Amino acid sequence: MSMKPIQEGVTRRDVLKVAGLTSLGAALYASGLEKFLPRTLTVEASDQEPFYGTYQAGILTPPQNHVQVVAFDIKTDRRDELVDLLKRWTRLCARLAAGLPYGDSESRYVPPEDTGEADGLSAGHLTFTFGCGPSLFDGRFGIRHKRPDALKPLPTFDLDRLDEKWSGGDLVVQVCGDDAQVVFHAIRNLVRVGRGTVAMRWSQAGFQRSKAADASGGTPRNLFGFKDGTGNPDVSKKQVRKDSLFCQWQDGTPWLTNGSFLVVRRIQMHLEVWDRTILKEQERTFGRERASGAPLGSTDEFASVTPAKRQARGEAALPVDSHTAVAHGDGKTAILRRSYSYQDGIDEKTGALDAGLLFLSYQRSPKQFIEIQRRLAAQDRLNEYITHRGSAIFACFGGISKGGYIGDALFA
């Protein structure tokens, strides 16, 4: 059945969706009051992630299909201009997360407030997560004394081959969503609103298998074909969130309470070398079965990782240099990985695909990542197949409250 347009681009079905498909929606439509509803994107509450809350969205949110992470350099040294931008970004993000366009001016004599490519699309679980890099505290904005002691560029690890063009940044935003066009629309409008105050330093996009393609909602696979994310800590547990994920007041930086440190690593994966490697060696490299994702020596994907477990002949079931064994260590240090695959055309030097992992991890302290990465750089069998090309660290703010703005605890 074709839908009768109520306003240009808005169908009756849209209006009823805006009103939550309730009897209120039907009543609004029957009364003709629907014309007072904003000219919105298609809105279904189940497609929306709350923008306001104790923690920023995009950390605990179940990973969406797409990510785009953009780091910015600030082009002004005026604190009021920066704060003004953070307030404008807050308004923009709150609207987009609710499935609304940035603005709905209808005048044909000014450029449209919203760029329009997400009109008619749902919010698709769109989330925004903002953070600041060590360079924000270099004295330009009068906040040098507020830099968390732990917020400094990550150390150089053995085997790093970092490129400045994928590293650093004064500010970051991680935008995640289930629809690539909705994510792009969000980034485009953030950049548009920020023009003159900030400039993009780098921008990296990532993807996973779509939820539509995997109705079971199983652990996604990385570009080496292995389930990736199995051993993440159970962040539904309050104690785990407190110990490993979110900064606490007693950590010594009050403005960062309920925030989290984000590490971004662009890790190229040498697919052609991997594809010539026999399955047994691939499995020994990760220390997991490819098909089930189970640690070697077990059959269950979620079996606990026990590097000490021996086979009948006394040999360790899990190779000591396997990625799982080395990353796990004694199991006391946990980070929340929220990584996505990337593909970025052709590696100019080799002619191979430039593809890999946009590694994203959240942790209460950078120490957690550093401790694990030091071990991996020294012993991980996976090192033969990967190269770290980019690196950045950010302190992501605590949650944004209604009436507040992104980073207000830092700038207040």
Ligand X SMILES: C=CC1=C(C)c2cc3[nH]c(cc4nc(cc5[nH]c(cc1n2)c(C)c5CCC(=O)O)C(CCC(=O)O)=C4C)c(C)c3C=C
Given the rule CB under 6 A, which residues bind ligand X?
222, 224, 226-231, 265, 267, 269, 286, 288, 305, 323-324, 327-328, 335, 356-357, 359, 369, 372-373, 376, 386
295 vs 277: CA distance, rounded Å: 19
| Residue 87 and residue 403 in contact, taking contact as beta carbons nearer than 8 Å | no
Residue 191 DSSP one-character state: H
Question: Closest approach of Cβ 150 to ligand X, in Å?
Answer: 16
Of 125 and 270, which CB lies nearer to ligand X in the complex structure? 270
* Cβ neighbours of residue 221 closer than 8 Å, sequence gap 6 or more: 209, 227, 228
Tokens of 296: 């070697």
Question: Closest approach of Cβ 372 to ligand X, in Å?
Answer: 4
Of 97 and 382, which CB lies nearer to ligand X in the complex structure? 382
Of 197 and 368, which CB lies nearer to ligand X in the complex structure? 368
Of 42 and 230, which CB lies nearer to ligand X in the complex structure? 230
Of 73 and 301, which CB lies nearer to ligand X in the complex structure? 301
How many CA atoms, within 13 angstroms, populate the side-chain half-sphere of residue 20?
Answer: 6
User: What DSSP element (H or E) covers 194?
Assistant: helix 180-194
Backbone angles phi, psi at 351, to 5 degrees: 80, 0
User: Which of 52, 2, 42 shows the shortest CA–CA distance to 19?
Assistant: 42
Question: Closest approach of Cβ 123 to ligand X, in Å?
Answer: 28
| Residue 388 and residue 160 in contact, taking contact as beta carbons nearer than 8 Å | yes
> Measured at the alpha carbon of residue 241, what is the angle toward residues 144 and 404, in degrees to the nearest 5?
50
Report which residue's Cβ sits closest to ligand X: 231
Tokens of 257: 């309470």
Question: Closest approach of Cβ 170 to ligand X, in Å?
Answer: 24
Question: Closest approach of Cβ 211 to ligand X, in Å?
Answer: 18
Question: Closest approach of Cβ 119 to ligand X, in Å?
Answer: 37
CA dihedral 212, 216, 222, 228 (to 10 degrees): 140
Of 267 and 316, which CB lies nearer to ligand X in the complex structure? 267
User: How many CB atoms neighbour CB 105 within 10 A?
Assistant: 14
User: What DSSP element (H or E) covers 252?
Assistant: none
Question: Closest approach of Cβ 297 to ligand X, in Å?
Answer: 13
Of 94 and 357, which CB lies nearer to ligand X in the complex structure? 357
